Amino acid sequence: MKEYFDKLIKENSQIQSFFKHFIYLSEVDSTNTFAKNLTEKEHGICIYSSNQRFGKGRNNRTWFSKRDDSLAMSMVLEYIDHKQSSLIPIATSIAVNKTLDKWGIKSKIKWPNDILVNSRKISGILCELDYLPNNKNFIIVGLGININNSEADFVSDNRIDYKISPTSMMMEIGEKIDIRNFIKDLLNQLVITYTDLKSRQFDALINYYKDHWHDMDKKIQVSLGNKLVEGIAKDIKKDGSLVLEIDSGIKEILAGEIISS
Ligand code: BTN
């Protein structure tokens, strides 16, 4: 796999110019933890592992990965302001949605950044901010995609409590996916979408997101740490926040988790 990545990056100037440092790990606890622990961070570091053993999910959950059959990668991105950082998760979910589309899989994005196919989760994104004293702000974007997992794989690990029933590309298409070709398409799409974000194409990104938004007009419950808010999902603002219609009016939520819809 390492040779494959070396060749892919050498032969693809767009990927090479964005992802300046590509680190392949045959095994790791978590690509996000590995990225966070890097002493020297730089924009465009990408870490990929064929065997992530202790993947981290959102809200302290465990993320299931299987050697060679799941995609687990983390990217280190520098952001210049809050507007960009708040849209990085949105941009990442758009890139995943577009790549899946190219592979014949229609997906929807559950706010803020779960990728669903027929209401089952095919991909999750974990973004962690990393402040450094030298004035550079980085965000670690962890991306997990279920590629060649079978139904049995998902129940094989009893550490995992699936809030949303999982699915994989193979389960959706009905045949094994060439993960190398998929990664090539994904990296290309990530570069395109992050370039749109860098050139501040915020409206286009939000409009695309809203066109592929799972929760629109649904009655949902959102967990805000220790508080639960219920309402109708109405809109996504330009900073990626969720607009909820609640009994007493309108509530904007920048960060939270939809726990039922
Ligand atoms: C979620 O939906 O809960 C987010 C899942 C994020 C999983 C990815 S896999 C690669 C990266 N490394 C981790 O430990 N987690 C993220």
Sketch the domain layout of the chain as residue ranges. Answer: 2-211, 219-260
Q: What is the pLDDT of residue 89?
A: 94
Cis peptide bond N-terminal to 112, omega within 30: yes
Task: Give the per-residue pLDDT at 136.
Answer: 85
107 and 212 in contact (C-beta within 8 Å)?
yes
CA of 28 from ligand 1 middle (Å) equals 13
pLDDT of residue 134: 66
* Predicted confidence (pLDDT) per residue in 204-233, tens digit: 999 999 999 999 999 999 998 889 999 999
Residue 144 CB less than 6 A away from ligand 1? yes
Ligand 1 pocket test target in 120, 143, 157, 257 with most atoms within 8 Å of CB: 143
Q: What is the pLDDT of residue 139?
A: 94
Task: Render pLDDT for 130-189 as a digit per residue (tens, 0 to 9).
Answer: 876 667 889 999 999 999 999 999 988 777 888 899 999 999 999 999 999 999 999 999
Q: What is the pTM of this model?
A: 0.95
- Write out the H or E segment, with its range, that includes residue 229: strand 227-236
CA dihedral 57, 63, 67, 71 (to 10 degrees): -50
Point out which residues pair with 243 in neighbouring strands. 235, 252
What integer pLDDT is reported at residue 261 of this predicted model? 58
- Summarize the confidence of residues 47-61 as an average pLDDT: 95
Cα 169 to middle of ligand 1, angstroms: 17
Contact 231, 248 (CB under 8 A): no
Nearest CA to ligand 1 atom 7: 144
pLDDT computed for residue 256 by the predictor: 87
Residue 243 has pLDDT above 70, yes or no: yes
For 2-211, CATH number out of 3.30.930.10, 1.10.3720.10, 3.30.360.10, 3.10.20.80 equals 3.30.930.10
Q: State the closest ligand 1 atom to the C-alpha of 33, by its place in the atom list counted from 1.
A: 14
Average pLDDT, the chain: 94
Query: Residues 72-96: pLDDT tens digits?
Result: 999 999 988 888 888 999 999 999 9
State the distance from the centre of ligand 1 to the C-alpha of 211, rounded, in angstroms.
25
The architecture in CATH of the region 219-260 reads Roll (2.30)
CA distances from 79 to 88, 130, 187, 200 (A): 9, 11, 19, 12
The rounded Cα 124 to chain-centroid distance in angstroms is 5
In degrees rounded to 5, what are phi and psi of residue 213?
-90, 125
Measured from the CB, is residue 32 less than 6 Å from ligand 1?
Answer: yes
174, two tokens: 């009905």
How far apart CA 35 and CA 82 sit, in angstroms, is: 21
Contact at 8 Å (CB) between 139 and 127?
yes
CA 246 to ligand 1 centroid distance, Å: 31
Q: Which of 230, 70, 247 is nearest to 147 (CA)?
A: 70
How far is CA 241 from its chain centroid?
Answer: 16
Report the first-to-last Cα separation within the chain, whole angstroms.
39
- Ligand 1 within 6 A of 63 CB? yes
Query: What is the rounded distance in angstroms from the CA atom of residue 241 to the CA atom of residue 112?
Result: 8
By most ligand atoms within 8 Å of CB, the mutation choice from 24, 25, 28, 32 for ligand 1 is 32
- Cα of 81 vs centre of ligand 1, distance in Å, is 24
